Amino acid sequence: MSFDRTIDWPPAAPTAPLAVLVSGGLDSAVLLAEALRVYPVVHPIYVRTGLFWEEVERRWLDRFLEAIHRPNLAKLTVLDQPTKDVYGRHWSVTGLAAPAADAPNDADFLPGRNVLLFAKPLIWCHLNEVPDLATGPLASNPFPDATPEFYDDFAAVVSRGLAGSVRIVRPYAHLHKDDVIRRGREFPLHLTFTCIRPAGEAPCGVCIKCGERQRGFRAAGVPDPTPYASKPCSA
């Protein structure tokens, strides 16, 4: 059974806790904030993999979590899953030659990214009796490890290995970036961070992720509050 259906998201009166895989980006931030409205306890989980932008990303995520804090928001869980020994001198590790804003939609593909991102969080959910792990892939995601089959099969394999039952839920799987921005416009989106080569504390404004963000705000008809280091692209 696939758990991409979003018609009832967020659910009316859930009784179990929820874990949310967060990065500090727009999609996972809005997902987390919406979950806080209805779930009795929400556990944000950040997977630290050693990529170029993570130190800055984490600082922005901490600011967002502080801004949306509610009593049902659990302390951020940080899980380590280093990738440098696998990725070597890849641009995601070094920050060199990262895809620009006008690069093809799949230019920022990181091989096996979701295998690494979901393995430990699913085990954590099992050990902490949290049945569902929510994540925010969108309909425009082109990657092979972001399909309904991947998520369901991966969760099923981990569940068998644990002799338990954990699920990956994708409430935004039918949405696009502008849809997420419109539904989350009341949240502090200026505290979200979507960039792969930050300039100091600021998103660069010219990488592929900044370009996606800018186009999303334009399509949503919502002013972009992001403090880019360089002038945003016009594409």
Asked if residue 133 is part of any domain, the answer here is: yes
**CATH code of residue 161:** 3.40.50.620
Tell me the pLDDT tens digit for each residue of 120-146: 999 999 999 999 999 999 998 889 999
- pLDDT tier for residue 4 given thresholds of 50, 70 and 90: low
Query: For the residues 78-85, what does the mean pLDDT come to?
Result: 96
Asked if residue 46 is part of any domain, the answer here is: yes
Asked if residue 212 is part of any domain, the answer here is: no
Tell me the pLDDT tens digit for each residue of 208-231: 999 999 999 999 999 999 999 997
Tell me the pLDDT tens digit for each residue of 147-193: 999 999 999 999 999 999 999 999 999 999 999 999 999 999 999 99
Asked if residue 232 is part of any domain, the answer here is: no
Look at the pTM and tell me if it is higher than 0.85. yes
Domain, as residue range, for 115: 18-194
Asked if residue 218 is part of any domain, the answer here is: no
Asked if residue 220 is part of any domain, the answer here is: no
Q: How many domains does the chain fold into?
A: 1
Dmax of the chain from CA atoms? 52
Q: What integer pLDDT is reported at residue 1 of this predicted model? A: 40
Asked if residue 235 is part of any domain, the answer here is: no
Residue 85 CB contacts under 8 Å (≥ 6 apart), including other chains: none
- Neighbour count for residue 58 (Cβ, 10 Å): 17
The token pair at 197 is 């080569």
- pLDDT tier for residue 89 given thresholds of 50, 70 and 90: very high
